[in-house]
């Protein structure tokens, strides 16, 4: 019962935030990944698409949500939903550098049993993933993002992920 209440609370908070915040919609592509100290060969080309909503889009601190799907490092489909937050660190010419983090659930049937063995949160085949991120936002609105997923498993110590996105539609 508590998980249902948590979901309801998150949805209510999201609805309230969306209605009160300056929102920017983005469409993006998952591009690839690089594994740290891999003990096997991984698929490093990870095409996919996502949709995101960034709240407080013109502020130094912003938060948002993102959902999408991509071809993962095991060459299988992954569907995910996450939330993120980031801060503007500096303006560099026609761009700004932002740093933050993300947390969400990613579909990984190949890892879900191992994750449960670590005591890591899972929902069925969805595994909690979280880590830091950096974003370079160009003046034209294009974002280039790098995320890092620390991995406690034996096959790799972590994964750097790469994405690009563009804004669409109007802002509230």
| Domain residue limits, the chain | 22-168
Q: How many CA atoms lie within 13 A of 63 on its CB side?
A: 9
Per-residue pLDDT tens over the stretch 94-151: 999 999 999 999 999 988 998 898 888 999 999 999 999 999 999 999 999 999 999 8
Per-residue pLDDT tens over the stretch 49-95: 999 999 987 789 999 999 999 999 999 999 999 999 999 999 999 99
**pTM score:** 0.84
CATH 2.40.160.20 at 22-168, yes or no? yes
- Cα-based angle 126, 80, 33 (whole degrees, multiple of 5): 100
């Amino acid at each position: 019962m508590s998980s249902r209440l948590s979901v309801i609370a998150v949805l209510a908070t999201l609805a309230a935030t969306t209605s009160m915040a300056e929102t920017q919609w983005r469409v993006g592509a998952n591009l690839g990944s690089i594994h740290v100290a891999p003990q096997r060969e991984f698929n490093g080309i990870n095409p996919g698409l996502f949709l995101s909503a960034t709240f407080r889009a013109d502020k130094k601190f912003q938060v948002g949500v993102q959902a999408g799907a991509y071809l993962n490092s095991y060459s299988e489909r992954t569907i995910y939903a996450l939330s993120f937050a980031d801060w503007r660190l500096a303006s560099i010419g026609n761009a700004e550098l932002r740093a933050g983090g993300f947390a969400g659930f990613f579909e990984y049937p190949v890892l879900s049993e191992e994750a449960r063995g670590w005591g890591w949160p899972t929902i069925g085949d969805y595994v909690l993933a979280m880590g830091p991120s950096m974003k370079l936002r160009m003046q034209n609105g294009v974002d280039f993002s790098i995320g890092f997923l620390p991995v406690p498993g034996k096959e790799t110590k972590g994964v750097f992920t790469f994405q690009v996105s563009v804004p669409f539609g109007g802002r509230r």
